[in-house]
Amino acid sequence: MSLKTGNRKFHGGFYFLSISLLFSFVYSISLIPIYQLAMRTLHTFFFLALAISCASPQVATEVLVETSDYKTIGSVERYDSDIYKLIPEGAVIEVLASGFEWSEGPLWLTTQNALIFTDVPTNKIWKWTEEDSLTLFLEPSGYLGTEKNKKEPGANGLALDLEGNLILCQHGERRIAKMNTSIATPTPDFTALASDYEGKKFNSPNDLVLNNSGQIFFTDPPYGLDDWNPKELDFQGVYRLDTDGTLHLLLDSLNRPNGIGISPDQKTLYVAQSDAQKARYYAFELEENGDVKTGKILLDATASVGKNLPGLPDGLTVHSSGTLFASGPGGIWVISAEGKHLGTIQTGQGTSNCTFDEDERYLYMTADAFLMRIKLN
């Protein structure tokens, strides 16, 4: 990683020559006694100026632009000055890997200093590290059957529970599941945590988030269903799964609930709706037990759908400051807790989801065929 500082060149030699000529000229007339005192003053000033010019390079007149060993694409559009607190001036979008059919579900593994993410159509989970680049983490990830004619069989959203177990939204199996082996030695061995509501199979659980108590909140749109695998529920739900296995339906009024997140104070549940006619981000106030109390539209993105901006509200994550980083038209929308659109990380791709590393130094993004990241403050 290096920095380009524009025309930040050192002109000490030019300063030295200019001041030297001036000094020589004045010194030539210093033989006249009246100039003796002035000469001593100029002599002192000369060496002081020379020292300053050597010690202090010119202030850069261009914005510092971060360069990268990776290919870079896209840009950052800034609509409010608060975004500079989160994304530094000159930050670039790095392409870490590509060639996927639809990348999703990024999750940072602190113990491995690695990122894992899903490729939903291929039924795989990939692992990326700075040292080893890309390796296969798990296959199959979301569908264990033999049917080949499935559009989105793989896992989608991923999370770790309080014990460090991998929790998956399994599109193909239509359930929330736990991987039975450690993330250090992953195998396609799973236990179903929830697979139906009142005896009817889920549609295709899409994304999830855990609160500090270990409760799992997840969305259940129909994207993973196939013609031969019919829908059984007559709604798309947002659910809460308690640590004792009790399932609660929180919302059934959203047409396409998708991305989901929780505020740092655990009092607000955020849900993105992937409906082109009602492309919105919702905020729901939570009771202490995890029930939904009241809700509102945090931000409506419908007017931005289309307009050469690929994508809809999709996956999201919440920064420790309370700011949302949420997939939306054009890339990742940066949204304040009050619902103000601070800016957009323009990936130029349909962008599915995002997550931070442990220290929030980078935001990692899954976008169509790509895995990307951008540096944060």
Sketch the domain layout of the chain as residue ranges: 2-55, 66-98+256-377, 132-253
Sign of CA dihedral 125, 363, 306, 297: positive
Q: Which two tokens stand for residue 358?
A: 């442990």
Give 20's pLDDT tier (boundaries 50, 70, 90).
very low
Instruction: For 120-138, write each residue's pLDDT tens digit.
Output: 999 999 999 999 999 999 9
- 226 annotated binding-site participant: no
Instruction: For 25-70, write each residue's pLDDT tens digit.
Output: 434 434 334 334 444 444 444 443 434 333 333 333 233 445 678 9
The angle at the Cα of 147, spanning 143 to 150, to the nearest 5 degrees, equals: 70
The yes-or-no answer to whether 66-98+256-377 and 132-253 have a common fold is: yes
Residue with tokens 């920064």: 319
From the CB of residue 175, how many other CB atoms can be counted at a distance below 10 Å? 21
Q: Which of 314, 357, 359, 368 is catalytic?
A: 314
From the CB of residue 171, how many other CB atoms can be counted at a distance below 10 Å? 31
pLDDT of residue 307: 85
CATH (one of 3.30.70.580, 3.30.70.270, 2.20.25.650, 2.120.10.30) for 132-253: 2.120.10.30
Instruction: For 199-223, write each residue's pLDDT tens digit.
Output: 999 999 999 999 999 999 999 999 9
Residues 6+ positions from 295 with CB-CB distance below 8 Å = 251, 282, 283, 284, 285
- 360 annotated binding-site participant: no
314 catalytic per annotation: yes
Report the alpha-carbon distance of residue 212 to residue 264 in Å, rounded: 9
Cis geometry, peptide bond prior to residue 140 (ω within 30 degrees of 0)? yes
Residues 6+ positions from 40 with CB-CB distance below 8 Å = none
- 234 annotated binding-site participant: no
Question: Exposed (0-12), middle (13-18) or buried (19+): which is 126, by Cβ within 10 Å?
Answer: buried
- 82 annotated binding-site participant: no
Report the alpha-carbon distance of residue 7 to residue 253 in Å, rounded: 57
Instruction: For 251-299, write each residue's pLDDT tens digit.
Output: 999 999 999 999 999 999 999 999 999 999 999 999 999 999 999 999 9
Sign of CA dihedral 25, 27, 33, 37: positive
- 198 annotated binding-site participant: no
The topology under which CATH files domain 66-98+256-377 is Neuraminidase (2.120.10)
- What amino acid is encoded at 108 in this protein? W
pTM over 0.85: no
